[in-house]
Structures are given as C-alpha cells and as structure tokens.
A and B are shown apart, each in its own frame.
Chain A
C-alpha cells in the first residue's frame, strides 16, 4: 500500500524535528524524551521506552512513556544475547514473531507491558540500546513502512545518544586534564617557591627576600588590573628574579660591607645569569626569564645588564624592579638598618621617572593605602613589613601625596605628548 501524502508529510516533519533534536547538545534526558515522543507521535504509539545499554552498567531506561519504568528496569541483556542482537542485525522485530533468546527470556514481562516491537540501537557495531514500542492507536499491525520509519528514527536516536555520551566523555577527560594541569601548576608554584627559598638561603641577610618580591610583584600587578594568569606569572618571576645569584660567589653576596666596583660587577652578573638559567625552561607563564634579566634596568638607561630605557623595559620587569628595591629598602641589611617608611616614600618619589616607572609606583602606593584604610581584607603588605612599620599617622597622607603628585606628573606627560 502506498502511504498517503499526509502520512509522508507527517513522517518527514518528524524526521526533520528529530534531526534537530539529536543534534541538540543541551539537556540529554530532554533530548531522549523528546526524540521518543517524536517517534511515538509519528506512528501514534501509546507506549515506548528507550533503554540504554552500557558496557559498565546494567541496561537503564532513559525515557519511558505509558509503561512501568520499574518493571522495565529489571531486565538484563546477557553477553550472548547482545552478540545475537548484533549478529542478526534486525532493524526491528515483533516480540511475537522472533526466535530471539533475549525476547524469549523476557517475553512475559514485555507482553505484559504491551510492548510489541523491539528496535535495537546499533552504533558502530555496538549495542547502544533498545527501543521498545507498542500500542498503535489505529489498532493496525506494524507495516513494512512502519518498520522502515521506526528503524530510521531509532538510528538517529542511537547516534544522538552515542554522540552525547562521547561529548560527556570528552568533557570528563577535559575536566580531568584541567585538574591535572592545575595540579601541575600548583606543583610548579611550590617547586619555584622552594627554589626561591634555596636562593635566599645563599644570602643569609636576605632570607625570604625572593618570596616577598614575588608577593609584592603580585600585589602590584593585581592593582594594575592584570589578569589572573599574568598575576601568577609575575609572582613566579618575583620568586625567581635572583636565581642568577646561584652563580655568584657566596662571599660577595654575604659581604657585610659595601662591596667595591670589581665585586659589584661580579654581583651584577646575576640578572643575565638568571636569564641563562631560566630561558631553557618551558614556563607556563610568559616572559619570566626576561623579567629576571631586566629587574635591575632603569628608565634612564643607567641600569644593567643592557642599559635599556623606559619603553624598552618590559612592564613586568619594572614591577619586579620596584618590588625588589622596596624590599631591599624595608629590610635590614648587614651594613645598615632598614629605612623609615617616610624615607622610602621620599626615595620612590625621587626615583620615579628615572629608576622606577611612575605608574608602577602609584599602583603600589594605592595597594598599600588600601590596606591602611582597611579597604582590603587581607593585609599582606603590612604583614610582610612587620608590626608597627606603617603605624605613623602621617603614612596615609604620604601615600596620598605621592599618588597625587605622580598622577599629576603622568597627566602632564600625556598632555605634552598629545600636544
């Protein structure tokens, strides 16, 4: 019998809707449920279920309509039955007209639920599941056209389920990889911190210096609005900025007096040596070797190792340079006590534009001020500087003045450039 035009239109419409539905990567359960409704509605069937077969778990009903889900959940598919379903490659079979071992074993339950037709979902030669159907509203038997329609639609649904599970698997693996990557980053950070501690041990007067420089650099970068990855990167650069000191004689590093020019020249090798050590390493963050290399460069070109000027110096290196100098000024050294905060602020003001980048100094001053004015919960800078160091009543004013003056200076520079 030739199907009517109306029936063909109805079936094609359902196939088109089904194509859209199985391509939907959203809610999996909803996709299966809707697909099953499309299938049932195409032939006006009152009962249906989609049972997913998974190598690791028992068959599971993932969509049910007009059937007892609990009863359906009780059946199992034995290995030999799965092989049988795969080998026979029946697109669909009526439970009353099949020799299938699986059907024979479950016949009473299936018939009791009003299931008449079973359609295996086979994708890439694996049994993805079964679709169970029954109760044609017309009361007619399933025709050859019904078999063709149902098997075509079930192939679609099977591919949809298979694809969805693959996507889930990929997402799970991506998540696992992300966690592994996070773990690796944490291991890298911890290793770097341990390494920083090892660098500082060589210099008995500056223990904890690299760790503090890392933290100050991170705080400044964050204040300047850097992204989380870049902030982490500069923290690492801070930890490692003095790694080149490993190749400098311990006696020079630990000299309890101002060293002469020759020894100073030896000590000044450490940024370039640091670069040589760090460059071959594949760091998860950008420019760490360069930040270590240029942390003693100055805006006026009088720094080392390359005598770079303002725009030639990477911003990260400018941040590490300020963090490094700030820690040097605010910690005791063998030949001097640490300087007062007023003195430090004065130095920063005078050296902005020659040694330090004014924008970096302003960012650091703002970060300190926020801690002092309790705008930040954690007071990491104050903790690193120690109790009492920032207690003076004039400290916030000093910082506010510093910020205002440098901001004004920056505005003038911008104004002049614009003219």
Chain B
C-alpha cells in the first residue's frame, strides 16, 4: 500500500523491503522528508531500503549529506540499501563523491528488488 509523507515522498513495501521515491530535486526539504520516511520504515521492521531516483533531476550538497546519513542509519540497522533509476549525471556525482562505494545501484525498482535478496547487508562505512 502506498503511503506519503507531506506532499512529495511516496513509499511502499514489498515484503520487508521499503521502496521510497525521491522527488525531482533532492535538497534540504525533500531530503529530510526522505530521511524521516526511511527511518520510519526501518523502525517498523523493514530489512532493506530501495531509494528510487526515477523522478530526480538534481541532488545538491545537503541531499548528499542526508543520503550519507540514511546509509549510516541503514548500516546501523543491518539493513540493505539500493539506489535505483539514478540518472547519469547523478551517478557521476555519487561516483565522484564516493557514495557508490557504500551503496549498490540498480537500473530500476524491479532490478533493485530482485537484487536485494542476493545482496549482503550494506557495506560497512569506515
């Protein structure tokens, strides 16, 4: 069942995996909403997170910081995390900043969900 936080964050669960949809511009406002939603899903027992960036055109610095925070939280919860449907420009940014060392990328949500069960828990950040 779909749920939404505020006007922009949509999410739904597939088994014990939560799929959270990022908005078109991942900044402070939307980033914090996504973070809250991810925490809520993990607190309610989800063991894996898929953050879908299909609608996301741009991620700014605060967005990066918040995504790192989500990765941290997932790591501490022992949950897997996958970013799906990330555009080329954002992949380049994630690569350059080192986020892709800590999170798996998938072509789309389906691929992310099918990969989740095969993945080990999120690589530990040091």
Interface of A with B (CB < 8 Å)? 4, 6-7, 10, 13-14, 17, 34, 37-46, 65-66, 135-140
Contacts and interface: CB of A to CB of B under 8 A. Distances in A.
Most buried by A among B98, B101, B102, B125: B98
Contact of A140 (B72, B98, B126): B98
A138 B65 contact: no
Contact of B97 (A37, A38, A43, A66): A43
29 contacts: A4-B96, A6-B89, A6-B96, A7-B96, A10-B93, A13-B60, A14-B61, A17-B61, A17-B62, A34-B62, A37-B66, A39-B61, A40-B65, A41-B61, A41-B64, A41-B65, A41-B68, A42-B64, A43-B97, A44-B64, A44-B97, A44-B99, A65-B65, A65-B69, A66-B72, A137-B98, A137-B99, A137-B102, A138-B98
A139 B125 CA distance: 9
Contacts of B28: 34, 37
By Cβ-Cβ distance, the 4 closest A-B pairs, closest first, are A138-B98, A41-B61, A44-B97, A41-B65
Nearest to A9: B93
B13 to A, nearest CB: 27
Contacts of B111: none
Nearest to B66: A37
Contacts, number: 77
B24 interface: no
Contact of B61 (A42, A46, A139, A140): A42
B65 A37 contact: yes
Contacts of B61: 10, 13-14, 17, 37-42
Contacts of A43: 97
Interface residues of B, number: 22
A136 B69 CA distance: 13
Contact of B62 (A38, A138, A139): A38
Contacts of B99: 44, 137
A92 B126 CA distance: 22
B101 A137 contact: yes
Contacts of A139: 98, 101, 126
Interface string B58-82: 0011111110110010000000000
Contacts of A4: 96
A353 B60 CA distance: 74
A41 B31 CA distance: 12
A14 B60 contact: yes
B55 interface: no
Contacts of A39: 61
Given A44-B65, A138-B96, A138-B101, 19 more contacts: A6-B96, A7-B96, A10-B97, A14-B61, A17-B61, A34-B62, A37-B65, A38-B61, A41-B60, A41-B63, A41-B65, A42-B64, A44-B64, A44-B68, A44-B97, A65-B69, A135-B126, A136-B98, A137-B68
